[in-house]
Chains A and B, each alone.
Chain A
């Protein structure tokens, strides 16, 4: 109920922003009767119609997770973003072991198993990608080896 209504409202704002952004698309001067704006306008309009429908005929409320589960999702997201930014400077092994270890701990809170999973996955995947598929992954921060 509320979920669908909030989502509908957000999508209307997104669609309006999309349409607004589409008005600034440069139109070429050579023959192109449909032009680059027609589709974006139609899509934006369609999204608004669907969003209004969702707001006025919402489904039964989804089963939202309690705050604690939500927190673990936030942590997982942060871990992934952190992984994204450390992959290049720190090489493959260390960030992968850390990220995989934390995710593993979140799924099953046993520290030793999580550490083993992290290290095992980092090494295993490194071997698979580097030697199996010949992707040139760098194992450690540059300059270590």
Chain B
């Protein structure tokens, strides 16, 4: 089923169809139309033009394949110094880079220019679960690691899996190799497995559980952000519960590595302008994104930290040698 969902983008058709005239900015969405990366390109591209940060409408190119790896290779190998190119990225990009899933390419081969919104990570249980707080759950795992199994929308070893492990590490539980996790076909599927009682917890993004939260079939034990999320004020953060973990699926951009520092700074400023616009705030609200703005060197440093942490965790659970 996973393969179904993959590549029905019209990838390079649009790419070589429209070409790239010298002036127009191009935004590559490394996936098919309709997904998160496509949304990032289309929304940011539209707002960039609307608030006059760029002179011509931004050209969106879909380039699916290899979980974003083909687009990454394209940027690294063929567009390494193109100042008019931006590429949609998210936590999935950095997780895959950290886990060497892009055929040897590394995160330092591009520059991460900014994130301007994020889908907050959540830990969720079915409504009749005995766990009332994140700590209840953590204690149960400490007592018997096999007693709590998690379902998530990413593959085993992926971002959703790592979220749980980060929480447990923060709680001082080091035997993370004993934690049960199954990767299923997307967040909503993970929720149904949890509601059905096959797994005891679900780990995913806020947007994946909104409908089930409203219908009361699941309870969120914690949201993995710095502060409570607007619109979901009754969900406590992990931090409040004494577990200092921030894990959000950010939406942002990277740019080719060999552009000048000034060009990099210019993109950071443009992105900041998008983040500050009323239009973007509306788009975020409509898509269940929480504010999360980091641009320029600040963001690059943050990404470096995340990548290093992902590498460490991945080695520990054996998905990276």
The smallest beta-carbon distance between B98 and chain A, in angstroms, is 15
The residue from B10, B12, B318 contacting A29, defined by CB atoms under 8 A apart? B318
CA distance A138 to B317 in the complex (A): 47
Residue contact B318 to A26, C-beta cutoff 8 Å:
yes
In the complex, A63 has a CB within 8 A of chain B? no
In the complex, B180 has a CB within 8 A of chain A? yes
| Residues on A with beta carbons closer than 8 Å to the beta carbon of B157 | 28, 30
Number of interface residues of B (CB under 8 A): 23
Residue contact A30 to B17, C-beta cutoff 8 Å:
no
In the complex, A88 has a CB within 8 A of chain B? yes
In the complex, B178 has a CB within 8 A of chain A? yes
Given the known A-B contacts A26-B321, A28-B319, A32-B156, are A88 and B177 also in contact in the complex, defined by CB atoms under 8 Å? no
Residue contact B156 to A30, C-beta cutoff 8 Å:
yes
CB interface residues, A 25-68, toward B, < 8 Å: 26-32
CA distance A142 to B156 in the complex (A): 43
In the complex, A74 has a CB within 8 A of chain B? no
The residue from A28, A29, A138 contacting B17, defined by CB atoms under 8 A apart? A138
CA distance A138 to B319 in the complex (A): 42
The residue from B13, B19, B179, B321 contacting A30, defined by CB atoms under 8 A apart? B179
Residue contact A137 to B17, C-beta cutoff 8 Å:
yes
| Residues on B with beta carbons closer than 8 Å to the beta carbon of A137 | 13, 17
Residue contact B14 to A136, C-beta cutoff 8 Å:
yes
| Residues on A with beta carbons closer than 8 Å to the beta carbon of B161 | 30
Residue contact B319 to A88, C-beta cutoff 8 Å:
no
CA distance A65 to B10 in the complex (A): 39
Residue contact B13 to A142, C-beta cutoff 8 Å:
no
| Residues on A with beta carbons closer than 8 Å to the beta carbon of B13 | 135-137
- Chain A 94-111 interface mask (CB, 8 Å, partner B; 1/0): 000000000000000000
| Residues on A with beta carbons closer than 8 Å to the beta carbon of B14 | 136
CA distance A88 to B13 in the complex (A): 9
The smallest beta-carbon distance between B319 and chain A, in angstroms, is 5
- The residue on B at minimum CB distance from A30 is B317
CA distance A144 to B318 in the complex (A): 52
